[in-house]
Amino acid sequence: MGWIFSLIDASATNSAANFFPIGLQLIFAAGFVATMIALSAWVGPKRKTADKLANFASGIESHGNARQPMAIKYFLVAILFVLFDVEVIFFYPYAVNFRELGWNGFLAVLMFVAFFLIGFVYIIKKGALKWED
């Protein structure tokens, strides 16, 4: 019978009135952002000269087309870096709980490392890390 009263109390504490301050804060935050953007557009300078409308790249004069093709090796190395870098993230839960995981956890981590080593050997055999074209 006590669980009925706990359900009644829980529904009373989760009323819409409890979320009113959060909603009010969101409305004021959105209003503040909109007001500041409008104020800066209204008060800010409006001198649109050719120098101000030109692209700026760290003070270096731009030359050539920025849309020229790039070697796929850069992207391949970036993807491989992310792949093998994320592998390290999965070692953290094991390092924190290695005593609780016991031998089964150790064998699972060995299998995980073996899969990545097999992938690394495959990458090397395919020549994905060779830069000569």
For 31-84, the pLDDT digits (tens) are 999 999 999 999 988 888 887 777 766 766 667 777 777 777 778 888 888 877
Inside any domain, residue 131: no
Please give the tally of structural domains in the chain. Answer: 1
φ and ψ at 47, to 5 degrees? -90, 100
The whole domain housing 62 covers 2-126
Inside any domain, residue 43: yes
- pLDDT tens digits, 14-26: 777 788 889 999 9
Q: Provide the whole-model pTM.
A: 0.43
Inside any domain, residue 39: yes
Inside any domain, residue 10: yes
SS3 18: helix
Most confident of the ranges 36-40, 74-78, 94-98, 128-132: 36-40
Inside any domain, residue 16: yes
